[in-house]
Amino acid sequence: MGHPDDLEGRIKRLALEAGCGDAKVVISKYFPGIAAIPWLKTVLVSEAVARSLSDEHLRAILAHEAYHLAMIKDRRRLLRNLLTSACGYMLLVDVVLFITAVPLWLLVNAPLPDSPLYGFLAAILTAFIILVAFPYASLIVRKIESRLMRWVPFGAEEAEANAHAAQVVGETTFVEAVIRYSEALRSAVRDLGLLGRLFMNSIRVAEAVNPHPVPNEVMSDERHE
């Protein structure tokens, strides 16, 4: 796992081994995940998640992010990702409007008395949309897109990044790393309280727009063909 006092050195060493090159590695106490920001040539790493992963599992996740860093120069992939993400976003908006329009219409048009209760109900509904309806609408979109992946390359670069990481560290190690990373991410989010809840909602939205195929999707024979 590496000496706890040398966490920065450990992460930078593993990032180099994973193929991140001269990308800047930023360690955060508040961002609970691991993500590449290709246009800034940066890899953002959660301190809590990094401490929870073994060297081989952390290297596997960083190898996935290294692929994203390398693909920033591929204009064809960038255009493809932009178009498919735009399609996912439009689908997400349609589903969210369908789920939220009815309660909003009822709130606006229902014969409620002119009292502070109306504002209270409006505040409750707004919180419900932000914390419940919106993220779960994105899960519905994710399920729809999983059916469409055979014809539309939603999450295509994520599948490629997973396949690349599997080549770097081995298929078994990569699948194990994804599982361990998911567990570490949930733990880190719990520790952040409400901030973590909002972060997980944003993750669900991102998944709806550009879904990450799960390991068994990426490793199936159909994906390798």
Convert the pLDDT of each residue in 5-29 to its tens digit. 589 999 999 999 999 999 999 999 8
Confidence of residue 148 (pLDDT cuts 50, 70, 90): confident
Alpha helices in 149-220 (DSSP H): 156-169, 171-191, 194-209, 215-218
Strand order in the sheet with 42-46: 24-28, 42-46, 34-37
What is the chain's mean pLDDT, rounded? 78
Highest mean pLDDT among 77-81, 107-111, 207-211: 77-81
Output the pTM of the full model. 0.69
Which structural domain, as residue segments, surrounds residue 185?
A: 1-225
Q: What's the CA angle centered on 204, arms 202 and 208, to 5 degrees?
A: 115
Give the DSSP letter of residue 150. Answer: T
Q: How many domains would you assign to the chain?
A: 1
Longest dimension (CA), the chain: 65
